[in-house]
Amino acid sequence: MLGRHPRRAKARVTIGILLLFVVAACGSEPKKPGSTPNDGRAQPGGSGAVLVPVDGGPDYYAKFSPGLPTDPGFFPIAVWYESVASADDVRVDKEAGLNSYVELTADSNFQAIADGKMYAIPSEAGDDHGKETVGWLLADEVDMWAGGGNGKWTGNFPGEGDICVSGQTDCGYSLLNKQRAELPKDKRLRFANYGKGVLFWLDEGEAEHFVNTFSDVVSTDIYWFTDQNVCGHGEGGTIFEGQDLDKATCRRAANYGFVVEKVRSMIKPANSKPVWGFVEVGQPSEGAPMIKPEQITAAVWSMIINGARGIMYFNHSFYGDCRSQHALREPCYAANRAAVTAVNKRIAALAPVLNAPFADGVLNAPNGVDASVKWHDGHFYILAGSAEAAGGKATLSLPCVGNATVTVLDENRTLQMITGMFTDDFADGNAVHIYRVDGGSSCGLT
């Protein structure tokens, strides 16, 4: 259904690492994006406020040619392994708010992608690639099926026989080195997506080697809402020393963001490379339900809150009543498409904010809320979502701001911040609010 062996693996198994589990075990609060080491690029403000640029810096993609736009109004929103046969396909995808493709079927029409002003990161080079092709994709989830090692690769993919030469060590590193060497000698970026190996199975050194060595942009995939295995003691449960996870702990949107933050913590030097987030839009796993529209929205914002510089949608649905390679184009996924369209529209409108620096040292949030702060055009913007499966009231504190009006964007309401504090409702585990602070102190930032 996916057309290639490496992609079939994605339909069956996914894993990530749930940073919040570690937090609960250790009794400390998870590190927010603005708290990540800034590699000397922070600009001190007042009252403890520090500006931390987005990972790689706002002009990161300018080093590649052709490359993704560096316009602050652009935020990468991609779909995974789509088929583009015509201009109509591009039109339908753009109407859903997509602007990029990561991997495409072999028969896809790159001229249609170029004419539609979309961007592509395929895995195979050819004569039909122009400025729309801004990067090359390395083999998917190599960490899971080739392992972390420098053994000799047989040239096989999963299902084709032995991956590594018999008797030798794992060969994931040599496989990716060989793929990189065979790509065109151009200035396009290299993209890698990993899975359960990097996020869970490999030791720290092996995982960091994958994340830092082979690509310019990295992502990982774990489908907390729809993977039938991820709650088990051998996967997510290993954080609790082999215990199975209950539904409330496992099936929550905040876990998507913690995966992004986990990968970001592996990047060396810190903050030097963009990490993208991955969320499913259908029913990719047997024995698990289809993801719900509100879960998609919450998962996307959780990843952005935790520093994702791009979003990808896994567009394949292998189980259920409506199986498809392109779920977002199917009438039977109309509700999920509507949610994707709405969240993409909101991302596009807020792109200048999302591409702005994080403001570290400003916000105190309770354990039940996962939040980060941006500084843009003289305003603090707070991106906040539930960190637990259940919701409730939460008080957020920005001590250095003082008194101000807090506008809840796209909700037609305002709140009052008194002496740096305001309280709001988070209805459930999928609740997300985006606030703009109007007035009050800038905490020394300009």
What digits encode the pLDDT tens for the residues 75-120?
999 999 999 999 999 999 999 999 999 999 999 999 999 999 999 9
Q: Tell me, what amino acid is at 39?
A: D
Higher pLDDT, 25 or 347: 347
Q: Is the peptide bond before 293 cis (omega within 30 degrees of 0)?
A: no
Do the beta carbons of residue 352 and residue 405 sit within 8 Å? no
Query: pLDDT class for 25, splitting at 50, 70, 90?
Result: very low
Tokens for 116, please give them: 């539609």
Quick one: CATH architecture of 362-438? Sandwich (2.60)
User: What would the mean pLDDT of 44-61 be, rounded to a whole number?
Assistant: 86
Identical fold at 5-31+58-355 and 362-438? Answer: no
| E strand spans, 157-261 | 189-194, 217-220
Half-sphere exposure of residue 385, counting CA atoms within 13 Å on the CB side?
A: 25
What does DSSP say about strands 217-220 and 189-194: parallel, antiparallel, or unpaired?
Answer: parallel
pLDDT at 239: 60
Q: Is a pLDDT exceeding 70 seen at residue 185?
A: yes
Do the beta carbons of residue 417 and residue 404 sit within 8 Å? yes
Does CATH number 3.20.20 belong to domain 5-31+58-355?
yes
The residues spanned by each domain of the chain are: 5-31+58-355, 362-438
What digits encode the pLDDT tens for the residues 319-360?
988 899 999 999 999 999 999 999 999 999 999 999 999 999
User: What would the mean pLDDT of 234-244 be, rounded to a whole number?
Assistant: 72
What is the Cα–Cα distance from 437 to 446, expressed in whole angstroms?
15
Question: Over pLDDT 90: what percentage of the chain?
Answer: 77
What digits encode the pLDDT tens for the residues 287-307?
888 999 999 999 999 999 999
